[in-house]
């Protein structure tokens, strides 16, 4: 209990520190007018040069990348019901997990059924090719659909977990649900210790997986070139990663159909769909 209180307090301090950091970085950015917006999904010569010469590249992807494959957000809007009269932030919450694990499993089984036949798009495939192009390549995603892995990405830091995994609530053993060993049972149990399994995703009210953000932040700090692709840039702490990269001197590029709160921080903004823009870097 004491350790949990310390972890909660640390998380609050961390969040407050990054709010201050975010404000300072954005203020400095506005004063120095760093942003270069490209309205026609063209890639500047400066960016092409940096792409050719870069050794350490960092990519953060969000829901917009998966949406281009047809993955629904499942969120609705506001308090819109998404499952049996419940809004997204209730059925996908830590509180619901404690109260009704079986209901949570029904919800996540449904979500897997919806996306089971969905394939990676051109953006996923382009990012997969980049992993062999650069000396040090880091892919970080906020998505839980596993499409980066389906495209062939070998190493992906998953900030919010994966719909296709389950983990034990006690011993943390993990199970690949694509093997079909447990998908038919709403509340199945761990083969190692006998306790219940849960979806291996980050629910509302939970912290990120241990070490995932820390590793991503270290890679962002070390990057020369940072791509932010298909993310709204409003979910923290993930949205702080490009800010860390920028503060450390990386050239930050946003690729999104519309501006985001991050746009003013970026060195270059390319307005367009990820699946249309990313393959252009290889031409």
pLDDT at position 42 is: 80
**Parts of the chain belonging to CATH 3.40.50.1220:** 29-70+119-160+207-282
Q: What is the DSSP letter of 265?
A: G
Q: What is the pTM of this model?
A: 0.84
pLDDT at position 73 is: 79
Which residues contact residue 249 at a Cβ distance below 8 angstroms, ignoring those fewer than 6 apart? Answer: none
Closest CA to 247 of 59, 15, 18: 18
Mean pLDDT, rounded, of the chain:
86
CA distances (Å), 157 to each of 58, 100, 205, in order?
11, 29, 20
pLDDT at position 36 is: 52
Pairing relation of β-strands 197-201 and 174-176? unpaired
pLDDT, average across residues 74-89: 80
Instruction: Name, of 78-82, 120-124, 178-182, the range with top average pLDDT.
Output: 120-124
DSSP H helical segments within 54-181, as ranges? 63-67, 88-91, 94-99, 101-115, 122-130, 147-151
pLDDT at position 191 is: 86
Rounded Cα distance between 198 and 168, Å, is 6
Catalytic residues: 160
Q: Which CATH architecture has domain 29-70+119-160+207-282?
A: 3-Layer(aba) Sandwich (3.40)
pLDDT, average across residues 132-149: 97
Residues 119 and 145 sit within 8 Å (Cβ to Cβ)? no
152 burial class (0-12, 13-18, 19+ CB within 10 angstroms)? Answer: middle
Residues 230 and 255 sit within 8 Å (Cβ to Cβ)? yes
pLDDT, average across residues 119-144: 98
What percent of the chain stands above pLDDT 70?
Answer: 81
Is 3.30.470.10 the CATH classification of the domain at 81-117+165-201? no
pLDDT above 50: residue 13: no
Query: With the CA atoms of 57, 237, 173 and 177 taken in that order, what torsion angle do they form, in degrees rounded to the nearest 10?
Result: -70
Q: What's the sign of the alpha-carbon dihedral 148, 191, 97, 181? A: positive
**Parts of the chain belonging to CATH 3.30.1600.10:** 81-117+165-201
pLDDT at position 77 is: 56
Rounded Cα distance between 175 and 179, Å, is 9
Higher pLDDT, 178 or 124: 124
């Amino acid at each position: 209990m004491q350790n949990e209180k310390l972890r909660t307090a640390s998380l609050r301090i961390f969040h407050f520190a990054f709010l201050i950091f975010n404000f300072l970085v954005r203020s400095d950015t506005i004063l120095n007018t760093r942003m270069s917006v490209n309205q026609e999904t063209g890639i500047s010569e400066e960016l092409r040069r940096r792409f050719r010469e870069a050794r350490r590249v960092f990519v953060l992807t969000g829901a917009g990348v998966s949406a281009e494959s047809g993955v629904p957000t499942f969120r609705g809007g506001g308090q819109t019901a998404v499952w049996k009269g419940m809004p997204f932030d209730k059925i996908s919450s830590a509180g619901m997990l404690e109260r009704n694990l079986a209901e949570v499993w029904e919800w996540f089984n449904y979500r897997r059924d919806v996306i089971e036949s969905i394939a990676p798009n051109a953006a996923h495939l382009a990012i997969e090719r980049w992993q062999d192009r650069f000396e040090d390549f880091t892919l970080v995603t906020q998505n839980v659909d596993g499409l980066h892995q389906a495209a062939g990405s070998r190493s992906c830091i998953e900030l919010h977990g994966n719909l296709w995994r389950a983990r034990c609530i006690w011993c943390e053993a993990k199970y690949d649900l694509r093997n079909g060993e447990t998908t038919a049972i709403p509340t199945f149990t761990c083969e190692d210790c006998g306790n219940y399994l849960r979806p291996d995703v980050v629910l509302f009210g939970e912290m990120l997986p241990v070490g995932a953000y820390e590793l991503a932040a270290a890679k962002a700090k070390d990057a020369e070139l940072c791509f932010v692709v298909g993310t709204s840039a409003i979910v923290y702490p993930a949205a702080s990663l490009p800010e860390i990269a920028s503060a450390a001197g990386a050239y930050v590029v946003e690729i999104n159909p519309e501006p985001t709160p991050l746009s003013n921080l970026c060195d270059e903004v390319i307005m367009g769909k990820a699946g249309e823009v990313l393959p252009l870097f290889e031409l």
